[in-house]
Amino acid sequence: LKTIFGKDVRYVVPLYQRPYVWDKESKWEPLWEDVRLLVGQLAEVSGSHGEAPSPHFLGAIVLDPKFGQVGDLEVRYIIDGQQRLTTLQLLLAAATWVAEGLKLEQSARLLRRLTFNDKDLFEQPDHQFKVWPTNTDRENFRAAMLHGHASADAGIRVMEAYTYFCGVLMDWAKDLDKAAPAGFETLVKAVRDYLRLVVIDLEDEDNAQVIFETLNARTTPLLAIDLVKNLVFRYAERQGATEADLESLYLTAWKRFDTEEWRRDVRQGRLNRPRAEIF
């Protein structure tokens, strides 16, 4: 992660992608368990001078580079992997908050470098974040990243994820007791050097829309409404819509559908189907 998040860069989730949908049981808990075990393995190696553990592989992400003016922050659109990158940012932000609370300044600084860009390299406030989610999640993501520990609001996955990671990290630090400083040093090393992602960069001739649909069809299933949103906004983009045009289109025509209510299953006859696919 020090290669992916260590530089000043913006990984932007395109507007046409779905909101953050990962959950505790299938995603957050396994990720934290993997990190915790990795930290334990590194601690054992440090004490015995044995062989370092193998890096932990978190999967692949697909990025579409966006070339801007000289001097601008590097921008890459996340074609596949937004759930993974958003979750990692929330985990890192939670670890930073806990480290700051324990006055572990060095660990907090190292972790913060993985979530925030150099303040001298941007003018717009939201460009401070290395990952920038799709519209419906931005307000909650900003609040979590900037304002520290917050209680989880039911149904707001970004806040729920952040609060979950704050909780497990606080419990972990409490168990460490006086060994917390050394534990956080090992945690920083684990997330910076031993969490690995494969990064695939698209080229000019690659069709980002087709790749997005193909990859997502093989992981967490896309709803029909996700595919429609993808098609509508990609088509608008190809017709010359600017970023401001797309934002306006989203706010006036689509935002109302980007809520959990429309994704929730309701009964139709003998079947349960997402509300958006019925109404």
* Residue 207: count of CB within 10 angstroms of its CB: 11
Q: What pLDDT does 267 receive?
A: 83
State residue 217's pLDDT score: 58
3-state secondary structure of 80: strand
> pLDDT value at position 209?
62
pTM of the model: 0.76
What is the model's pLDDT at position 272?
84
Residues of the chain with pLDDT under 70: 47-50, 67-71, 148-155, 205, 207-221
Give the pLDDT score at 149.
54
For residue range 32-55, list pLDDT tens digits in order. 999 999 999 998 887 666 677 888
**Across the strands, what pairs with 199?**
61
pLDDT digits (tens, 9 = 90+) for 172-194: 999 998 899 999 999 999 999 99
* pLDDT reported for residue 138: 92
Tell me the CB-side half-sphere exposure of residue 173, using CA atoms within 13 A.
22
The Cβ of residue 62 has, within 10 Å, a number of other Cβ atoms equal to: 20
Residue 153 has a pLDDT of 57
Q: What is the pLDDT of residue 218?
A: 52
CB 73 within 8 A of CB 116: no
Q: What is the pLDDT of residue 45?
A: 82
